[in-house]
Amino acid sequence: MRATLIYGDHDIRLEDVPDPVLSTGGDAIVRVVAACVCGSDLWPYRGVVPTKAPKRIGHEFVGIVESVGPDVAKIKVGDFVIAPFYDCDMTCVNCLNGVSTSCLHGGWWGADDRSGAFADGGQGEFVRVPHADGSLVATPGLPADELIPGLLSLADVMGTGHHAAVSAGVTTGSTVVVVGDGAVGLCGVLAAKRLGASRIVAMSRHADRQAVAREFGATDIVEERGPEGIARIKELFDGIGPDCVLECVGTTESMDQALRSVRPGGTVGYVGVPNGGSELPIRLMFSSNVGANGGVAPVRNYIDELLPEVLSGAINPGRVFDLELPLAEVAEAYAAMDERRAIKVLLRP
């Protein structure tokens, strides 16, 4: 089959690789219907995270189940399934506690599972899913084609934006600021709206992203950053700041923006993969009772709640995909996101 590998800085290649084979009893082979490129894939693409040796990449996909191992009970051949951006069993204590990203038996796409068998990356034609009954969620019947982007967003960005909002404690009437206008930040706006926020500020400098943010429920746009951005946010909220800030980037600057914008006693929900190199400033947080909650989003735990709303059209997170390319053009997909020509690119094998 064909699958995507990263070789290094700005070097993405589609290559022939071995077809996956069932091996552990509880696994499944999924034929990928749609995959995508994540903002976090850009860290190795940009060389911020070095790539020591060529390796498979991609962690968001939806598809059709081709085959299942003898121990798979819930997932069936022919099911249309959503996979979260990691593998998990949904039976261990961490999964049951709602933190399936800390699954005791789980793992990551593009790496060996705990039995030593390979779990393919998501940007390819097929993926072996180690814990089929845990990781995969089947839709009721085959979804209409126009629903594919929304369903694919449940693999990562919509669940991650939702995690930011939940972690920040967004509830009915909350005032919210979202730092980051990538797909996750935009989904954070949608999640905050869905949870009842009364006012949502999107921090964005790009007209296309501002438009999606408005469509998702943003009531205000702030283009300033740094000290000017903080001053503008304070000004918008009684001089003290909003109840909740969603940090959806992961740099030192974005976290600083979040922590210094939120009101005393407010909460930062953060989901940006930390790449800034600095830690959380405890004295700042202590003196004003600013909390920090979040982390790598347990999106599998959120699919059951969000899926019905995607299927009914109540929410349309698939709107973050503004470019669709065949898998053969995966290198162009990375370039388009890297150069901000696209918010998020959907790939069709």
Which of residues 108, 171, 225, 291 is near its own copies by CB under 8 A?
A: 291
Q: What is the three-class DSSP state of 259?
A: helix
Other C-beta atoms lying within 10 Å of the C-beta of residue 306 = 23
Identify which of residues 88 and 158 has a Cβ nearer to its own copies in the complex. 88
Identify which of residues 58 and 272 has a Cβ nearer to its own copies in the complex. 272
Residues in the chain: 349
Pairing of strands 199-203, 220-222: parallel
Cβ atoms of 159 and 299 within 8 Å: the answer is: yes
CA distance 118 to 88: 15
Part of the chain binding its own copies (CB under 8 A), chosen from 51-59, 118-126, 199-207, 279-287: 279-287
Cβ atoms of 124 and 118 within 8 Å: the answer is: no
Least CB distance to its own copies at residue 27 (A): 24
Taking Cα atoms as reference points, which of 303, 338, 296, 329 lies closest to residue 35? Answer: 329
- Asked if 98 touches its own copies (CB under 8 A), the answer is yes
Which of residues 4, 135, 160, 167 is near its own copies by CB under 8 A?
A: 167
Identify which of residues 207 and 282 has a Cβ nearer to its own copies in the complex. 282
Token pair of 82 as six digits: 């959503």
Identify which of residues 7 and 108 has a Cβ nearer to its own copies in the complex. 108
Residues 168-197 interacting with its own copies (rule: CB under 8 A): none
- Asked if 91 touches its own copies (CB under 8 A), the answer is no
Other C-beta atoms lying within 10 Å of the C-beta of residue 40 = 20
Cβ atoms of 161 and 343 within 8 Å: the answer is: no
Identify which of residues 171 and 288 has a Cβ nearer to its own copies in the complex. 288
In this structure, what are the phi and psi dihedrals at residue 8, rounded to the nearest 5 degrees?
160, -160
Cβ atoms of 185 and 168 within 8 Å: the answer is: no
Taking Cα atoms as reference points, which of 148, 125, 129 lies closest to residue 75? Answer: 129
Token pair of 184 as six digits: 């996750």
- Asked if 134 touches its own copies (CB under 8 A), the answer is no
Part of the chain binding its own copies (CB under 8 A), chosen from 69-77, 201-209, 290-298, 305-313: 290-298
Buried/exposed 197-209: b ≥16 CB within 10 Å, e otherwise:
bebbbbbbeeeeb
Identify which of residues 4 and 101 has a Cβ nearer to its own copies in the complex. 101
CA distance 255 to 332: 30
- Asked if 165 touches its own copies (CB under 8 A), the answer is no
Q: How many residues contact its own copies, by CB under 8 A?
A: 37
- Asked if 198 touches its own copies (CB under 8 A), the answer is no
Least CB distance to its own copies at residue 345 (A): 25
Angle between helix 300-312 and 157-167 (nearest 10) = 110
* 152 CA to centre of own chain: 10
Least CB distance to its own copies at residue 94 (A): 5
- Asked if 294 touches its own copies (CB under 8 A), the answer is yes
Which of residues 73, 111, 280, 314 is near its own copies by CB under 8 A?
A: 280
Which of residues 23, 24, 51, 102 is near its own copies by CB under 8 A?
A: 102
- Asked if 286 touches its own copies (CB under 8 A), the answer is yes
- Asked if 314 touches its own copies (CB under 8 A), the answer is no
Part of the chain binding its own copies (CB under 8 A), chosen from 13-21, 117-125, 191-199, 277-285: 277-285
Other C-beta atoms lying within 10 Å of the C-beta of residue 266 = 26
Cβ atoms of 246 and 177 within 8 Å: the answer is: yes
Residues 231-270 interacting with its own copies (rule: CB under 8 A): 238, 240, 255, 263-265, 267, 270
- Asked if 282 touches its own copies (CB under 8 A), the answer is yes
Residues within the interface to its own copies (CB under 8 A): 93-94, 97-99, 101-102, 167, 238, 240, 255, 263-265, 267, 270, 273-274, 278-283, 285-296, 298
